[in-house]
Amino acid sequence: MRHFTSQSLIMAELQLQHEVQPQLLNGDVLNEEREDADATESVKKKRRKKKRNKTTAPAGTNEAEGDGEPGGVGDVTKQLEQQTLEDKEKEEDGEEDGEEGENSAGKKKKKKKKKKGLRGQTDPPSIPICELYPSGDFPKGEECEYPPSKDGRSAAWRTTSEEKRALDMANEEMWSDFRQAAEAHRQVRSYVRSWIQPGMTMIDICERLEDCSRRLIKENGLKAGLAFPTGCSINHCAAHYTPNTGDPTVLRYDDICKIDFGTHINGRIIDCAFTVTFNPKFDRLLEAVRDATNTGIKFAGIDVRLCDVGETIQEVMESYEVEIDGKTYQVKPIRNLNGHSIGQYRIHSGKTVPIVKGGEATRMEEGEAYAIETFGSTGRGAVHDDMECSHYMKNFNVGHVPIRLPRAKHLLNVINENFGTLAFCRRWLDRLGESKYLMALKNLCDLGIIDPYPPLCDIKGSYTAQYEHTILLRPTCKEVVSRGDDY
């Protein structure tokens, strides 16, 4: 009896196990547990699992109910199929995650690269332009179509000509040097405008400007640096004034100051100037000169006669009248100041661009660079040498000249090493540690090795203004390389 009872209990337990195991193998029960466990996974994975459930669950149920034996062939087959599907899903998920990872890494890399390309300038400016644009792709100036020829033919063909494009690309390195120097000029003058104000000494203004310019151009001997001293001529003085050491001149509210400075890369010079005023009574005078300069730029071009450019400038400038302190003046172009062609390490390379009618009938040529500058005055419209000299420059064409004075020989070596044929001023010699050099400098001037450039002034009591840009006569178009948002 006991044996029968224990045998019955064993059989009941086995039967119970048979009933439980198929239920555990049932695909529906497994999937419910999996869906609960995977509740936090992405929607994409859930949809894939549901799709799999629809195809596998009925087969699993049938096998579980039909076989009735645990560990049967149907159960093993079903488990293998489920394992294969799960492995497949993991591989697919891994691939997708990998793609997403690559994409996100790519995005991050791209963002980082973009951030590097958009690296901003500091305030005050301190990062050299070559580091702001490490690719060497410097901002272009304003590109303009050349004016039509006398017979009315358009110059638009130059922009599409394959030959002109090839010539343009052949000189890309030179254009790039100009653009780097121009970008430095733009950023420096923007910085200067932010702090220049009445009450500052002219020495302080010039030294702050030049320090910033040296940083941005990344001064490097004769390869990169300042092209000429900072001009800060005031009122009736139109050009070539920069303070010598000890000059106490202070900028005043009623002054009209011409800021004229240059930068260069490998001798490719940017010559660009603007006028600073604080009293709005000068606004009309500034407008007249700015308009005249832009007119000169507009009419300049390949095969254009220099005298024709001067005539258009004069016509525009003389069309303006200004009222200053209750007195009306017609704005006069300063007839003995001109624009000029620019050569490598040579600020005045031979051709002059007049700002009055007459002058040379010489034509502008392809590949040249010009400084288009105009000066307007309420005085006589002519300048003369006046005041103490501060600007000097080595004669570009001078040959060997015997020098007797040892100090003059030493000074010439200093000039050759630091400035070459670029202009310099006495402050810059002081900065290099030179002293007691005035006699030696005079000796070099007397020998014709160095040329002095004293300040140029109209009559006292008059006011003068200046605007200037550098233009490149490229084979395909005219580029106002120094153009900025300010002027």
First-last CA distance in the chain: 117
Rounded CA separation 431/216 (Å): 19
- Confirm whether 87 is a catalytic residue: no
* Residue of 260, 291, 434, 458 marked catalytic: 260
- Confirm whether 348 is a catalytic residue: yes
* Residue of 434, 468, 469, 479 marked catalytic: 468
* Residue of 63, 168, 177, 271 marked catalytic: 271
Which stretches of 278-428 are assigned E, i.e. beta strand? 321-324, 327-330, 332-333, 339-342, 352-353, 369-377, 384-385, 391-394, 424-425
- Confirm whether 384 is a catalytic residue: no
DSSP secondary structure of 19-85: HHHHHHH-HHHHHHHHHHHTTTS-HHHHHHHHHHHHHHHHHHHHHHHHH-STT-HHHHHHHHHHHHH
Q: Taking Cα atoms as reference points, which of 218, 226, 258 lies closest to residue 242?
A: 258
Neighbours of 372 (CB within 10 A): 28
* Residue type at 249 in one-letter notation: T
β pairing state of 256-265 and 352-353: unpaired
CB-based contacts of 187: which residues, under 8 Å, 6+ apart? 121, 125, 129, 216
Residue 485 structure tokens: 């948002």
Rounded CA separation 140/142 (Å): 7
Q: Taking Cα atoms as reference points, which of 307, 294, 305 lies closest to residue 356?
A: 307
Asked if 257 contacts 189 with a C-beta cutoff of 8 angstroms, the reply is no
Helix (H, G, I), strand (E, B) or coil at 380: coil
- Confirm whether 340 is a catalytic residue: yes
* Residue of 185, 264, 340, 391 marked catalytic: 340
- Confirm whether 468 is a catalytic residue: yes
- Confirm whether 391 is a catalytic residue: no
Collect contacts of 158-164 with beta carbons under 8 A, ≥24 apart.
158/475, 158/476, 158/477, 159/476, 159/477, 161/476, 164/475, 164/476
Question: Which residues form the catalytic set?
Answer: 260, 271, 340, 348, 373, 468
